[in-house]
A = this chain, B = another copy of it.
Amino acid sequence: MAVVNPPANHDEKIEEQRAKMSFLFREDVAPGLRLEMDLNKIFFDGESEFQKIDVVETYFGKTLVTDGKTQSAQLDEFAYHESLVHPSLLRSAFTGNPPKSVFIGGGGELATAREVLRHKSVERCVMVDIDGKVIEVCKKFLPEWGGETVTSNKRFELVIGDAHKWMMETEEKFDVIIMDISDPIEAGPGIMLYTKEFYEHALTRLNMPGGVFVTQSGTADAVPAAHQSDRTTDTSCYGPIHNTLRSVFDCVVPYSTNIPSFGGDWGFMMAFQAPPGKDDKALVEKEWKFPSSPAVIDDLIEQQIEGGADELGLYDGDSHVGMFSLTKALRNLLKKDKRIMTRDNPVFMY
């Protein structure tokens, strides 16, 4: 069949017709819960030796999808990447040690590196990602994520390889270590990067004092599903990652940001050692989470970030306070969770 002669009201009618049909992208959020989006465009559909790779356009704008899972989307990638990067690098500066060297595990979209390179003090940013094809695809189709501007930056070093192996073998130390890797799902490759053993090793790779470790930590809704009366556990890994880091680091600071394209609030976890002479670890955590004033953060942004506050879309002093103020429901979830993730006893997220 084929089109022949368009009638007068063709345009108007065709729009109605198009509204009735769809290419769609449907993604699991939890068992029995899915996000469904219109699939407006497909920019790229291919695969690497590690995964299926798609670049599509949905409600959330251009989106990188690997193995059917949203990695980051135009609408809110800035929220994810700013949340992952700036609290840690500014924490380092807050302690009087503006970060010079940063390690990124994963980070294929290059946007994590983009945010790291905004920091004037950073002299070296090493990123180790196993999938060179993802990086190529992002450079071509998602240049706003960082692309060529990042890879051609002299302070940036890209290693195509296994981040776990690289970390285990390197003798280098870093001021900040950022884990921008897939969730600890059973099918996922990064499960070893969410273990006590890895965190113990990572601690040895941090310059002290001032060194900060941060990892994305999966879904962390303000109202955890575990609250529901007939569910004894939730399907997130926010609690186990929290406990596991606590078993290694002096201070662990969980925080979260709403990332609509990820289906809700998203969790992050910073970990660092208490400064020499500061014995009250809870106080150290609290002084960072809720500084005397939001202006403390805003001042750090002006000092550290090239271009200052204008360059950031999500993060500032007020946002900082919100990000670190977990709800009572989410704090209760963290309190109740006693699991520790090890090589022999991993915990899988849905």
**B318 pairs with A331, CB closer than 8 A:** yes
Chain B residue numbers with a CB within 8 Å of A10 are: 187, 189
Number of A interface residues in the complex (CB < 8 A): 114
Kindly provide the distance from the CB of A45 to the nearest chain B CB, expressed in whole angstroms: 5
- The A299-324 residues at the B interface (CB cut-off 8 A) are 312-316, 318-319, 321-323
Partner of A325, one of B7, B325, B328: B325
Q: Kindly state whether residue A275 has any CB partner on chain B within 8 Å.
A: no
In Å, the complex CA distance between A265 and B263 comes to 11
Chain B residue numbers with a CB within 8 Å of A109 are: 1-2
Q: Kindly state whether residue A100 has any CB partner on chain B within 8 Å.
A: no
**A3 pairs with B36, CB closer than 8 A:** no
Q: Kindly state whether residue A61 has any CB partner on chain B within 8 Å.
A: yes
Q: Kindly state whether residue A228 has any CB partner on chain B within 8 Å.
A: yes
Q: Kindly state whether residue A42 has any CB partner on chain B within 8 Å.
A: yes
Chain B residue numbers with a CB within 8 Å of A227 are: 75-76, 78, 313
**B28 pairs with A21, CB closer than 8 A:** yes
**A222 pairs with B258, CB closer than 8 A:** yes
**B327 pairs with A3, CB closer than 8 A:** no
Kindly provide the distance from the CB of A198 to the nearest chain B CB, expressed in whole angstroms: 11
Chain B residue numbers with a CB within 8 Å of A212 are: none
Scan A193-227; emit 1 where CB is below 8 A from any B CB, else 0. Answer: 10000000000000000000000100001110101
In Å, the complex CA distance between A17 and B13 comes to 20
Scan A36-52; emit 1 where CB is below 8 A from any B CB, else 0. Answer: 11111110010000111
Given A23-B24, A24-B23, A130-B3, verify A35-B38 contact (CB < 8 Å). Answer: no
**A163 pairs with B264, CB closer than 8 A:** no
**B328 pairs with A321, CB closer than 8 A:** no
In Å, the complex CA distance between A2 and B327 comes to 26
**A67 pairs with B21, CB closer than 8 A:** yes
Kindly provide the distance from the CB of A83 to the nearest chain B CB, expressed in whole angstroms: 10
Q: Kindly state whether residue A291 has any CB partner on chain B within 8 Å.
A: no
The 8 closest A-B pairs by CB, nearest first: A21-B68, A322-B325, A2-B108, A13-B187, A222-B258, A17-B187, A2-B106, A32-B38
